């Protein structure tokens, strides 16, 4: 491709430009060099000719396969380009050089890492490999040259904050990208602070600390028993570190943090902010748990605090108190203890691993308090309140049904509530007693019997009659009658004046199907509580009423015939004459017949009416009767 283009170009040059005689040009050879072999995009390159040929005979291929008379070219895209020079020797033919490689790189910010040292010294490590060379500007008017993966140190005349700029340099000393970091120059590396040491459940110590930003630190772990030392680098910006070694019951570790001087790594700066671990041991004894712990191993002690199940049970400010007897315990209960030792006026904390154990003390179980029985979803829901600081192994239930022997069962769970599903709440009142066996195997006294109440009802004529059994086993405040909808939402309430019965007129209700329950309000130590009875359903009969005669004679009396209904969902009325001919039909119970058929008054006489209906509960109603039409 290049040879073809070169041939075309030389032919054109010979005809148009009159480039000279062939004899004068026969000895010319391509020769050029690039001003730089690595440049930063966009870069304009002007090759330097050394062929001696007239400019009008020199062409260049700038890496895209095209020959140009242009003596400069701007590269905008990063990459590697093969640059060639071509000469037109006219009669001697054309000639083209071997390529020179040009690398065009994209501008970008170089990467580098800063490290602070003592004596106002800073180290810069060039971690970037994108550029052939770098310039470090220290921010105090001085600079230094550097290469990839090199480290340069610089000492300042004073402490303070400086901006260090690293520039990526290409050919012709062109800056192709720069990056800036701020550095706090110090005469002495700043001290860290140890905040806490927590011995975790796996026995390893988690050390919490504050590290000044921009400096490097490591943790020193010392074992006083054998004086061994281990060092762990702390990640910059971290606030905690978990040491890999397990703190045993017979050993302790003391921790401190030291600053690393990057300019002299073998000479760390040690800070004496010690913080050590403590051991704790729990021994179960008769009617008490004895807790022992280790003494402080370094200076700065402030106080001990002992915790049981997360709550503080003792605190001491003298380092020689190393034992405590815990007598506030319950049989079979698990207790977990931990010790917190504070140092340096409370600013540093050492927390032991939590130690748990189960007691074996004898017990005196108290009876269950506030046992309650209420009806829920036609089952009996039983609840109670357990004594504090008591662990229950089994709950016992005694069920008493009239006319049957008492039943005793062990409940499947020890926490309330319990649901008794084997009941007929509309038929019988159920009474219960509760007891339990604690983790020591001792049984609590039975509670007094506590019972449910049964609501019954009926519709007598125009009245709703409700009656119920009086509630037993509770401190009764009073009763409330509740009317419910189909979703057990309360529509209205009534407060009966009698203790076990109540009457209501049916005219007070707009529903055909009525649902009631009686709510017993009782007083407990926790306040008033509502206990529910079973729910009953009562049905008011639908109403379909009509006269058996009317006189459509326009005298203003009984001129039309109609039906009075209540609680009717579907309705149809048919009236037939004595020949079986349908003379009137309606599906609207509010419509009235005027005694005409096709607009003509019907003859006086006896007719047959047929009513078919359905009430709101879906019950079918069919009635046939004789209707007298008088004049």
Give the residue among 90, 92, 67 at the shortest CA–CA distance from 11. Answer: 90
Is 15's pLDDT higher than 50? no
Of 127-136, 279-288, 501-510, the one with minimum mean pLDDT is 279-288
Token pair belonging to 244? 């890999």
Domain boundaries 2-105, CATH class = mainly beta
The pLDDT confidence band at residue 349, using thresholds 50, 70 and 90, is very high
Cβ atoms within 10 Å, residue 77: 9
pLDDT at 173: 85
What Cα–Cα distance (Å) separates residue 417 from each residue in 195, 383, 395, 411, 443? Answer: 47, 5, 11, 10, 20
Task: Give mean pLDDT, residues 354-381.
Answer: 87
Question: Homologous superfamily of 112-185 in CATH?
Answer: Immunoglobulins (2.60.40.10)
0.75 exceeded by the pTM? no
Q: Rounded distance, CA 166 to CA 110, Å? A: 7
Task: Give mean pLDDT, residues 447-465.
Answer: 92
Give the right CATH number for 193-276 from 3.40.50.970, 2.60.40.10, 3.40.50.1970, 3.90.550.10. 2.60.40.10
Q: Mean pLDDT in the chain?
A: 89
Tens digits of residue pLDDT in 493-510: 999 988 889 999 988 888
Task: Give mean pLDDT, residues 611-617.
Answer: 94
How big is the CA angle at 39 (ends 181 and 168), to the nearest 5 degrees? 15
Distance of CA 112 to the CA centre of its chain: 39
Token pair belonging to 389? 């600081």
Give the residue among 405, 282, 266 at the shortest CA–CA distance from 355. Answer: 282
Of 354-368, 440-454, 511-525, the one with minimum mean pLDDT is 354-368
Higher per-residue pLDDT: 16 or 486: 486
pLDDT at 316: 97
Q: Rounded distance, CA 358 to CA 249, Å? A: 19
Q: Can you give the residue ranges of every domain in the chain?
A: 2-105, 112-185, 193-276, 280-358, 369-451, 455-539, 543-629
Print burial letters for 98-107: b (CB count within 10 Å at least 16), e (below 16).
eeeebbbbeb
Give the right CATH number for 543-629 from 3.20.20.70, 2.60.40.10, 3.30.70.580, 3.40.50.12780. 2.60.40.10
Residue 613, class by beta-carbon neighbours within 10 Å (0-12 exposed, 13-18 middle, 19+ buried)? Answer: buried
Domain with residues 369-451, CATH architecture:
Sandwich (2.60)
Q: Rounded distance, CA 179 to CA 176, Å? A: 11
Fold of 280-358: Immunoglobulin-like (2.60.40)
Fold of 455-539: Immunoglobulin-like (2.60.40)
Is 21's pLDDT higher than 80? no
Q: Rounded distance, CA 345 to CA 351, Å? A: 16
**Topology match between the domains 2-105 and 455-539:** yes
Tens digits of residue pLDDT in 169-198: 998 889 999 999 999 999 998 999 999 999
Token pair belonging to 403? 């006319």
Asked whether the beta carbons of 254 and 275 are under 8 A apart, the reply is: yes
Overall size of the chain counted in residues: 631
Q: Rounded distance, CA 127 to CA 152, Å? A: 12
Q: Rounded distance, CA 179 to CA 378, Å? A: 78
Task: Give mean pLDDT, residues 220-247.
Answer: 91
C-alpha count within 13 angstroms, C-beta hemisphere, residue 323? 5
Q: The tokens 């009430």 sit on which residue?
A: 615
Q: Rounded distance, CA 366 to CA 371, Å? A: 13
The pLDDT confidence band at residue 322, using thresholds 50, 70 and 90, is very high
Give the residue among 160, 74, 72, 155 at the shortest CA–CA distance from 120. Answer: 155
Asked whether the beta carbons of 5 and 83 are under 8 A apart, the reply is: no
Which residues are within 8 A (CB) of 225 and not within 5 positions of it... i.e. 6 or more apart? 250, 251, 252
State whether residue 14 is helix, strand or coil: helix
12, β-bridge pairs: none
Task: Give mean pLDDT, residues 462-484.
Answer: 91
Is 61's pLDDT higher than 70? yes
Token pair belonging to 445? 């006294």
Q: Rounded distance, CA 205 to CA 169, Å? A: 49
Q: Rounded distance, CA 288 to CA 330, Å? A: 9
pLDDT at 516: 95
State whether residue 11 is helix, strand or coil: helix
């Amino acid at each position: 491709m290049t040879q073809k283009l070169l041939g075309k170009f030389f032919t054109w040059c010979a005809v148009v430009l009159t480039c000279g005689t062939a004899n004068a040009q026969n000895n010319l050879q391509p020769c050029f060099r690039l001003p730089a072999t690595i440049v930063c995009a966009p870069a304009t390159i002007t090759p330097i000719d050394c062929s001696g040929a007239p400019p009008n005979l020199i062409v260049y291929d700038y890496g895209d396969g095209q020959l140009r008379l242009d003596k400069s070219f701007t590269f905008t895209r990063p990459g590697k380009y093969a640059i060639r020079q071509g000469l037109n020797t006219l009669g001697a033919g054309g000639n083209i050089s071997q390529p020179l490689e040009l690398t065009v790189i994209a501008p970008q910010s170089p990467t580098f890492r800063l490290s602070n040292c003592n004596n106002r010294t800073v180290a810069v490590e060039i971690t970037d490999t994108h550029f052939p060379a770098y310039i470090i500007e220290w921010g105090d008017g001085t600079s230094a040259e550097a290469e990839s993966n090199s480290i340069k140190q610089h000492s300042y005349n004073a402490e303070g904050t400086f901006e260090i700029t690293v520039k990526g340099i290409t050919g012709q000393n062109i800056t192709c990208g720069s990056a800036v970091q701020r550095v706090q120059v110090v005469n002495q590396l700043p001290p860290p602070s140890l905040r806490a040491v927590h011995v975790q459940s796996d026995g390893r110590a988690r050390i919490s600390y504050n590290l000044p930003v921009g400096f490097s630190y490591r943790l020193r772990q010392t074992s006083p028993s054998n004086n061994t030392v281990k060092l762990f680098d702390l990640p910059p910006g971290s606030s905690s570190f978990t040491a890999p070694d397990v703190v045993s019951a017979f050993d302790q570790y003391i921790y401190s943090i030291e600053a690393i001087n990057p300019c002299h790594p073998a000479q760390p700066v040690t800070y004496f902010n010690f913080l050590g671990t403590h051991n704790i041991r729990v021994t179960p004894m008769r009617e008490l748990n004895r807790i022992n712990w280790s003494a402080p191993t370094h200076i700065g002690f402030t106080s001990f605090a002992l915790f049981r199940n997360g709550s503080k049970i003792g605190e001491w400010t003298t380092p020689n108190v190393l034992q405590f007897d815990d007598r506030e315990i319950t049989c079979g209960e698990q207790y977990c203890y931990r010790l917190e030792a504070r140092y340096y006026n409370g600013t540093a904390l050492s927390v032991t691993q939590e130690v748990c154990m189960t007691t074996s003390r004898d017990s005196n179980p108290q009876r269950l308090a506030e046992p309650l029985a209420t009806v829920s979803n036609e089952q009996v829901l039983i609840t109670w309140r357990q004594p504090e600081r008591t662990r229950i192994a089994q709950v016992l239930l005694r069920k008493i049904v009239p006319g049957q022997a008492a039943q005793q069962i062990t409940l499947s769970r020890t926490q309330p509530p319990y649901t008794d599903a084997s009941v007929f709440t509309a038929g019988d009142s159920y009474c219960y007693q509760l007891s339990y066996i604690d983790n020591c195997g001792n049984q609590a006294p039975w509670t007094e019997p506590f019972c449910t109440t049964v609501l019954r009802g009926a519709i007598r004529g125009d009245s709703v009659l409700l009656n119920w059994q009086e509630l037993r086993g509770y401190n009764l405040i009073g009763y409330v009658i509740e009317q419910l909808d189909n979703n057990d939402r309360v529509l209205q309430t009534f407060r009966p004046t009698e203790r076990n019965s109540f009457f209501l007129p049916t005219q007070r209700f707009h529903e055909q199907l009525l649902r009631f329950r009686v709510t017993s309000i009782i007083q407990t130590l926790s306040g008033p509580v509502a206990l529910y009875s079973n729910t009953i359903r009562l049905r008011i009969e639908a109403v379909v009423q009509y006269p058996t005669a009317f006189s459509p004679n326009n005298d203003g009396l009984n001129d039309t015939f109609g039906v009075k209904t209540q609680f009717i969902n579907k309705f149809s009325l048919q009236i037939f004459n004595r020949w079986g001919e349908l003379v009137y039909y309606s599906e609207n119970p509010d419509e009235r017949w005027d005694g005409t058929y096709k607009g003509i008054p019907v003859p006086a006489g006896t007719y047959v009416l047929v009513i078919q209906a359905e009430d709101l509960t879906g019950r079918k109603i069919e009635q046939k009767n004789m209707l007298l039409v008088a004049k």
